[in-house]
């Protein structure tokens, strides 16, 4: 149950993105830029960072949805995301990616937890300055997204099938927000669809 009345019947952050249009549009654009915009990291790798940080923050909706998207990008049936939640060292990703995930984990605790030795370790494994930058920014942004969801009590989980559908949609079209003049119409459609399911 959400802590505020939104009149939008959607799981997780989707409810909040449509609650306040200008904010939702800006946050959606940021997520799209971070996860689908130009970067030396692949979209799948960036989704893994988002998923990993969300798991550390115990944000179920964000972890499940971004794991599903990573799975589509990586075509690995969720293998990497599942291993990351248990032990980065065992995850089927490159050593460079493990070093970047270590940095992301430090950011999740506090930006000040990132030390020069973490950066040097990632660089020694081939990470570029841009990849390190993007890792830190994605990790910091997802701490904000996770706390936004949890702080307003909208971490309502979706069903397994819904996460699979979300993952496909997020991987294929990203995080684009409809034009603001269509927002109320989209909300009506979402609520109508959700009402039919219940």
Asked if residue 136 belongs to a domain, the reply is yes
Written as one string, the DSSP assignment of 6-51 is -----SHHHHHHHHSHHHHHHHHHHHHHHHHSS-SS-HHHHHHHHH
Asked if residue 84 belongs to a domain, the reply is yes
Q: Which of 172, 166, 159, 161 is CA-nearest to residue 35? A: 172
Can you give the C-alpha Rg of the chain in angstroms?
Answer: 17
Asked if residue 45 belongs to a domain, the reply is yes
**Token pair for 105:** 């984990």
CATH of the domain at 98: 1.20.1290.10
Asked if residue 5 belongs to a domain, the reply is no
Asked if residue 2 belongs to a domain, the reply is no
Asked if residue 4 belongs to a domain, the reply is no
Structural domain tally of the chain?
Answer: 1
Asked if residue 157 belongs to a domain, the reply is yes
Q: Residue 198: is its pLDDT beyond 60?
A: no
Domain span including residue 187: 12-197
pLDDT of 148-179, one tens digit each?
A: 999 999 866 777 888 889 999 999 999 999 89
Q: Do 9 and 194 contact (CB within 8 A), yes or no?
A: yes
Q: Residue 67: is its pLDDT beyond 70?
A: yes
- For the segment 180-191, the average pLDDT, to the nearest whole number, is 86
- For the segment 58-81, the average pLDDT, to the nearest whole number, is 91
pLDDT of 194 reads 64
């Amino acid at each position: 149950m959400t802590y505020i009345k939104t009149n939008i019947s959607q799981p997780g952050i989707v409810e909040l993105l449509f609650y306040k249009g200008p904010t939702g549009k800006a946050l959606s654009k940021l997520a799209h830029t971070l996860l689908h915009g130009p970067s030396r990291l692949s979209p799948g790798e960036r989704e893994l960072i988002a998923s990993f940080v969300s798991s550390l923050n115990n944000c179920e909706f964000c972890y499940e949805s971004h794991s599903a998207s990573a799975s589509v990008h990586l075509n690995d049936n969720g293998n990497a995301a599942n291993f990351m939640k248990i032990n980065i060292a065992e995850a089927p990703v490159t050593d460079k990616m493990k070093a970047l995930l270590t940095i992301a984990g430090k950011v999740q605790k506090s930006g000040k937890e990132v030390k020069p030795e973490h950066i040097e370790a990632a660089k020694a494994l081939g990470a570029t300055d841009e990849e390190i930058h993007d890792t830190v920014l994605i990790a910091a942004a997802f701490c904000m997204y996770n706390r936004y969801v949890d702080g307003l009590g909208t971490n309502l989980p979706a069903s397994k099938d819904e996460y699979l559908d979300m993952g496909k949609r997020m991987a294929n079209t990203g995080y684009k927000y409809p034009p603001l003049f269509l927002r109320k119409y989209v909300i009506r459609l979402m609520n109508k669809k959700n009402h039919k399911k219940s």
